[in-house]
Structure 1
Amino acid sequence: MKLRSSPLSPFGRKVKIGAILCDIHLDVAAADTSDPADSLRQQNPLGKIPVLLRDEGPAIYDSRVIVEFLDAQAGGGVLIPNSGEARITALTMLALGDGISDAALLQVYESRFRDPETHSTRWLDHQAGKVARGLAALEAAPPVRLPVSGAAHVGEIAVACALGYLDLRFGGTWRAGHPALIDWLDAFAERVPAFEATTPHA
């Protein structure tokens, strides 16, 4: 199977880590979301990454669906608890981690796709507020271990990838005032070598 993504995407990184934990090999091919000629737009009509191309069957998108597919391919319960409160907890943490990444990406896109004179401070502050509130919630209650057979559940992976993206794009400024979250991320990286193995470089 082939994963279309960008080397810097936190969502692509989440899928890569999930595949490693599921012991599933993925060939990774770069995709350019801003290039109308990139075949990405035929593989995902939204033109978004990541996209998983299977040997048989239609393409799968977005990252949440791909991770669920990988978990099922590995027999279930590797990345996502099979049922009950643990499953809801993992998926809620997934939504929080992905939401932080989304808000961070939108701040980056404001600078990338809009001319400086049209930048909206109100819009940037709105997205930065999402990140700040998400980090505050995680500082108060870092992700907890849940019953999965893999080294980490999908919520943990999403949060780690979000923090990694903030390190990459925002110079790690999130680390000020979040000592519990720093400790959690250090422990996660030690427990899940795939996190360091998938570290993007700008």
Structure 2
Amino acid sequence: MPHQPEHFVLRSSLTSPFVRKVRMVAQVLGLQDRITLVPTDAADPADPLRTQNPLGKYPCLLRADGTAIYDSSVILEFLQEVAGTDRLLPARGVDRIAMLTRTRLADGIIDAGAQVIYETRYHEDGTQSERWLDYQREKILRALSAFESALPDPTHTDAVSIGLACALGFLDRRKPVAWREHFPGLVAWLPRFAQHEPAFNQTRAPDTQPA
């Protein structure tokens, strides 16, 4: 009897940029048909996500035996192993370290943007810390400046370009900072990458999804 490929469950939200990153990786590696998306409500104490990932965060990839893998960067590496390739991230060497550093920079844009959103969402007007908001926004702008000065190849898909595209898509959707007027290189890069890599538009959150 032929070996059946393993299937996975992805605890997810279609509006999450980190979930989008994993979905893009799966499509690029041809693994999307082996992954079932299962929505999660991270704010619900009864959601099993809190057992699957003690941090209560998604994306969280569940293997057939129930083993959980998180976060998005670890899932990327796992899916690359499943696909038997190093197409998105070198297996070793200084190039791998350089790419990992840049992927964390892209992830940091999203993390800082999320802090801006949480501060404005969970604190009433007049109780928000403008100092904290400025601190997070400055992180985003510095990271964007670093990418602006060393743009990835828009005709090449790898861990860095996927992470950056998801970060820029997040900024466009949630608007923690006004970035487009300051970074013309990134503004031009994003549609060129989207034209090259169809998985970017194919993983866009539906307009009917809440922000």
**TM-score, normalised relative to structure 2:** 0.88
**Which shows bigger deviation, 76-85 or 184-193?**
76-85
Structure 1's unaligned 5+ residue stretches are: none
Partners of 1:145 and 1:153 within 8 A in 2: no
- 2:160 counterpart residue number: 155
Deviation of the 1:69 alpha carbon: 0.3
Tell me how far apart the structure 1 counterparts of residues 96 and 169 of structure 2 sit (CA, whole Å).
Answer: 24
- Provide runs of 4+ in structure 1 moved above 4 Å: none
Q: Percent of pairs identical after alignment?
A: 47
Whole-angstrom distance in 2 between the partners of 1:78 and 1:72: 10
Give the AA of the match of 1:181: L
Q: What's the C-alpha RMSD, in Å, of the aligned pairs?
A: 1.7
Number of residues of Structure 1 aligned to a counterpart in Structure 2: 198
Show structure 2 runs of 5+ residues with no match: 1-7
Task: Specify whether residues 117 and 66 from structure 1 end up closer, same or farther in structure 2 by C-alpha distance, changes over 3 A only.
Answer: same
Residue 57 of structure 1, CA deviation: 4.8
Q: Give 1:171 deviation, angstroms.
A: 8.1
User: What residue is the counterpart of 2:80 in the other structure?
Assistant: 71
CA distance in 1: counterparts of 2:131 and 2:12, whole angstroms: 30
Deviation per CA, 1:130-186, whole angstroms, max 9, x where unpaired? Answer: 00101111111112479xxxx511111111100000000018831112111112111
The residue that corresponds to 2:132 in the other structure is 123
- Which of 165, 170, 193 is 2:170 aligned to? 165
Map 1:53-64; keep pairs closer than 5 Å: 53-64=62-73
> What is residue 114 of structure 2 aligned with on the other side?
105
Q: Verify the 8 A CA contact 2:12 2:40 in the aligned structure 1.
A: yes
1:50 lines up with 2:59 in the alignment: yes
Residue number in structure 2 paired with 1:179: 184
Partner of 2:27: 20
- 1:83 & 1:187 partners in 2: Cα distance? 29
